[in-house]
Amino acid sequence: MKHFFSNFKGDLFGGITAGIVALPLALAFGVSSGMGPSAGLYGAIFISFFAALFGGTNTQISGPTAPMTAVSMVLVASIVAMNDGDLEKALPAILLVFLLAGLLQIILGLAGLGKYIRYIPYPVVSGFMTAIGVIILVTQMLPSIGYYPKEDAAFVDQFRPRAEEVILKNILNEESNEGILVLEDFQETLDRAGEVSEENILKEAQTLANKDASGVIGTIKVLPRALQQIDWLELALALATILIIYGFKRITTAIPSALVALLVVSGVAYGFGLDYRPIQQIPSGFPVPHLDIFSEFKLTSVTPYIFTALTLALLGAIDSLLTSVVADNMTKTQHKPNKELMGQGIGNSIAAIFGGIPGAGATIRTVVNINAGGKTRLSGMIAGILLLIVLLALGPVASKIPAAVLAGILVTVGIGVIDYKGLRAMPYLPRDIKFGPLKISSEVVIMLVVMVLSSIWNLVYAVGIGLIIASLMFMKKMGDLTAKRSDVKTLLEEKGWADEVNFPEDLKKEVFIKHLKGPLFFGFTSEFQQLAKQIPKTASTVVIRMDRMQYLDQSGLYTLEDVLIDLKNAGITVLFVHVLEQPKFMMERVKLIPSLIPEDQIFDDFAACTAYIKKNA
């Protein structure tokens, strides 16, 4: 406990400063997620406190972040649309997925997978982060100009016929689930359909209109209509917020510019009694746990979202561990990756129970904490406590914040999230694959595929596709590299390795040497078979040098076995030189050694192999 408070003053200042920075972002991310500002605030409170308490990075400040919010936004929109556009009705299912993501992070930490997260390729991360920036920028265009699709009567009217169809379909589905034979009792169906009110049709049409105008494609589709109905006051508030955020940074960075913009623009709008749109009401009092999510826990209700929950878990893990590395560099410490994953998982799980959106380690807030003097996990806990005090004491005041101000803050977040470093590097990356007459960079392809698919289709699937493409391209490169470096030539055709120089001249025409200069894995098996076919059947002996073959997988093992069988059937003696530990273990497991290659035909060095050849020549 004494060590816990060893840097109390520094942690107090660090936590308070980080909490102040987190406040406007938490509110903005909550609104962006579709769950309201209170969900962002709840997430920031519980994730910050519990991730710091149980995590493995002393100075890390956690909370809702842009990538996590972008994935959450897609999930929320999807589940809300399936529940007649009613957020309250959809909330248990949404929070259940968030809880599952937190539990998966805990499992990742317990399984010791924290150290492997860093192996996700940079082009995938870069394309994803740029897509997040694009999504935030585009989707905030409508609230920045004060346009809300479900309030555009003419736009909503276009969806009335479809709304009636949806309502009728829902009635038929309900009757089917209730065991009513619709064909035998069609009058009951007609009676229930006749009870559908104008209010229900309007509500369903608004839900459909909102869904149609959501996301990047939906926003672009409805933008021409929105530009004809600009609310100039809302636009002025959003632009003022953006200008203050960027302008105040030029004056000083000691005070968070987003907070200054929030206070100044909100103060002016409220003080002058402007007719602006406020954010959703923030409930007063301590957050109430949503225990009903546990009653919703059914395998059938969770299964469609397991991949999304896993994506949230992995994304949060990557985000957090990258921030941990930044913190290590600044503080000259070493974080514990698996403990950090468990801390993040606990924080996200508790936040979900209390109705908060998921989050991760936040780089800017962590840097602010360290610069302000934070050194221990107490600073992150203080940041969470500060936000709780704001919620309890200033909830009604925060509810007066203009929605356009949070839209302006999110626009600056979107601009900041884009990976400009990766975009600038695109023209200079090596063009290593052919596409018709063109040569293009595989890394640029991965980056663009992830960026485009994430922006216009599905964030979750885009990352999965990006990882698959990156893995396939990596395997292709490794296979090509190994094939290029490995060769099959007689000692007369090639200058051998240093220890092959004194090989007897009279044996050089009969002995073929194959140098394996890389792993024999599934990406190299076809090339290995082609190289093996280059060995003339007139050869009496083949020496396979494995000094540099560090790894042998199951595909490579069986390919090697097939080649050895063919050589044995052709009457060719095969000798191994310097078989490393892992490949030898694999060959012994399937009895390739000693069934095809006896122990006396395996040598530690080329000199011993040469002596054997001379003896048996």
- The tens digit of pLDDT for each residue in 53-88 reads 999 999 999 999 988 988 898 888 888 888 777 888
What's the rounded Cα separation, in Å, for the pair 447 and 130?
A: 9
Whole-model pTM: value is 0.74
pLDDT for the residue 188: 57
pLDDT for the residue 259: 84
How confident is the model over 20-32, as a mean pLDDT? 87
Q: How far is residue 417 CA from its own chain's centroid?
A: 14
pLDDT for the residue 488: 47
H helix and E strand count, the chain: 28, 9
Residue 189 has pLDDT above 60, yes or no: no
> Do residues 95 and 358 make contact, with C-beta atoms less than 8 angstroms apart?
no
Q: What is the residue-averaged pLDDT of the chain?
A: 83
Residue spans of alpha helices (H) in 252-377: 257-271, 292-295, 299-302, 306-331, 337-353, 363-371
What are the pLDDT digits (tens) for 245-286? 999 988 887 777 888 898 999 999 999 999 999 888 887 788
Residue 414 has pLDDT above 60, yes or no: yes
Min mean pLDDT across 11-25, 136-150, 160-174 is at 160-174
What are the pLDDT digits (tens) for 475-528? 776 666 665 555 544 444 445 676 777 777 777 778 888 888 778 877 777 777
> What count of other Cβ atoms lies within 10 Å of the Cβ of residue 40?
31
Residue 315 has pLDDT above 60, yes or no: yes
What are the pLDDT digits (tens) for 530-558? 777 777 766 788 888 888 888 888 888 88
> What count of other Cβ atoms lies within 10 Å of the Cβ of residue 512?
21
pLDDT for the residue 490: 44
How confident is the model over 185-209, as a mean pLDDT? 71
Residue 182 has pLDDT above 50, yes or no: no
